[in-house]
Amino acid sequence: MKKRIESKVRSGARITEKEAEFLFAQNDLIWLGRAANAKKERMTGNRIFFNLNRHLNPTNYCLNRCRFCAFSADFGEKHGYQLSLKQIDRIADSGRGIHEFHVVGGLHPEWNFDYYLEILRRLKKKNPQVLIQAYTAVEIDHFSKISGLSLEQVIAELKKAGLDGVPGGGAEIFNPTVRKKICPEKISGSRWLEIHAALHHAGIPTNATMLYGHLEDYADRVDHLRRLRLLQDQTHGFSAFIPLAFHPQNTRIKNVHNTTGVDDLKTIAVSRLYLDNFPHIKAFWIMLGEKLAQVALWFGADDLDGTVEEEKITHMAGAQTPEALARDELVRLIREAGRKPVERDTWYRVKKIW
Ligand code: V47
Ligand code: SF4
């Protein structure tokens, strides 16, 4: 099987689901890394992308209360918050010099669709040059429900308000049995895929994620990747895939440990090898830690995300990483890995080669 996979990497032929499962079960991490790196270098050479971005989570009040989520809150809970439009304006003031606002939050029980639109308008008004990557498919589905508008109408309104791209959150794991255990209230995997297909048809590039390291097994991960590869074959609208390492602290998923470094690297590597139609695989340093994210640059990843500035979702679940990295620090991490740092925006337009 190893020889067959090596030859497929050389010829560019597709990895099957059986082979992907074999790769996940593989203990020869160095072999796996070398294969994934060969694939990465065929696609993006020595380049590693990063963004100058600011994350912003407008509220953590959320109707869904997914069991793996330490971030969300009900009214009356101490850690609940919602940003006023004045606070959004202050964040909008900090947009000078960045390339992206990344906006993700909860399904607020009382906000109407226009409030979510107004957030985009305010960010865009003060920063017309900054791209906005906002609202997961889960939020977009919610907007359709609360506004009575069709999915296509919601997307059109979001575009009008300044939306340039959609992040990959909300995908979690598509298998309905596991999904029911970790996020019973959330939209189904099929609906998530349907929303991304609609965004691609409307010309909005999106990302995809997979939350791993909870109750799923390798077959569930491969099934998740299979469904993503299939949709990408049809639409070519995904820019990047980001495996998200589950952080269990303060969540309602019990008896699960943090992911290990080996599992993190394996997941990056298998994703690079199997998702041959995804242009980019992101090692999100916030979740992996800066050091492992740097190592991942030799295991198939070609992107580190960005400066971030502020992060609540993972930190409320126990992440020990900083909430921000300076541009120079990202450049140093990439250079010290022997790679070429490439500053990009949401659309992977090159801003500067370092
Ligand atoms: O969907 C929630 C995850 C996601 C936990 O597109 C958790 O570039 C780990 O969308 N442990 C939202 N993960 C974040 C997101 C994202 C992040 C980075 C890059 C991009 C991108 C998108 O955060 C959720 C969920 O999968 N999440 N709780 C947790 N305890
Ligand atoms: Fe809400 Fe998203 Fe947290 Fe689920 S993961 S509870 S949808 S904020």
Nearest CA to ligand 2 atom 6: 65
When divided into structural domains, the chain yields a total of 1
CATH of the domain at 292: 3.20.20.70
- Return averaged pLDDT per consecutive 10 residues of the chain, 354 residues in all: 95 97 96 98 98 96 98 97 97 94 98 98 97 98 98 98 98 98 98 98 98 98 98 98 97 96 98 98 96 98 95 92 92 98 98 97
Burial track 124-141 (b if 16+ CB lie within 10 A, e otherwise) = bebbeebbbbbbbbbbbb
State residue 323's pLDDT score: 87
- Residue 242 CB–ligand 1 contact under 6 Å: yes
Strands 350-353 and 340-344: antiparallel
Pocket test for ligand 1, best of 55, 132, 172, 209 (most atoms within 8 A of CB): 209
> Is residue 172 classed as helix, strand or coil in its secondary structure?
coil
Range(s) of the domain holding residue 29: 2-348
Separation CA 154–CA 158 (nearest Å): 6
Instruction: Examine residue 354 and state whether it is found in any structural domain, yes or no.
Output: no
Q: How far is the CA of 168 from the centre of ligand 1 (A)?
A: 8
- Nearest ligand, measured from the Cα of 105: 2
Sign of the Cα torsion 244, 245, 249, 251 reads positive
Straight-line distance from the first to the last Cα atom of the chain, in angstroms, rounded to the nearest whole number: 39
**pTM for the full predicted model:** 0.98
Instruction: Examine residue 7 and state whether it is found in any structural domain, yes or no.
Output: yes
Q: How far is the CA of 66 from the centre of ligand 2 (A)?
A: 5
Instruction: Examine residue 39 and state whether it is found in any structural domain, yes or no.
Output: yes
CA-based nearest residue to 285, from 276, 275, 295, 300? 295
Instruction: Examine residue 58 and state whether it is found in any structural domain, yes or no.
Output: yes
Nearest CA to ligand 1 atom 30: 247
State residue 5's pLDDT score: 96
Instruction: Examine residue 166 and state whether it is found in any structural domain, yes or no.
Output: yes
Separation CA 289–CA 284 (nearest Å): 8
State residue 261's pLDDT score: 97
Instruction: Examine residue 353 and state whether it is found in any structural domain, yes or no.
Output: no
CA-based nearest residue to 334, from 48, 34, 39? 48
What is the Cβ-side half-sphere exposure of residue 294, based on CA atoms within 13 angstroms? 13
